Amino acid sequence: MSGERDLRKLLSGMSPVLNPGRYVFTTVEGGAPAGVAPVVTVAEPEGLTLVVPVEEADAAGLSYEYVAGWITLRVHSALDAVGLTAAVAQELAAAGLSCNVVAGYHHDHLFVPHERAAEAVGLLEGLAGEA
């Protein structure tokens, strides 16, 4: 099934949902430690970036600086769709919210400051309603 490419449909149908929990970005050399199940991994020359639940990071003794809430945009966006990330980032930036975006095959995932995650969902729902 191919994803949606029309920006208006992407925005109006994004249906953001806040996943439960708190997530952190950390980096390791080699693979993820035992007991750590990343929701995202990114291989970089400096090491393997992991996005993991804070409890798993703490239990494994992993260091981190940023605690995020994880929002999933439930619209199935095409990987070559244009404008969704920009529109979402602009909306959140206007409210002073940082946003780290990860594209999965089916959905886009946003990591925003945990303490403002519910606010971010509200802003995105407003953006969807305007589309």
- Distance, CA of 79 to CA of 103 (rounded, Å): 8
Answering whether pTM is above 0.75, one says yes
Mean pLDDT of 30-38: 94
Q: What is the pLDDT of residues 57-99, one digit of tens each?
A: 999 999 999 999 999 999 999 999 999 999 999 999 999 999 9
The DSSP bridge partners found for residue 48 are 28, 43
Main-chain phi, psi angles of 8, to 5 degrees: -60, -45
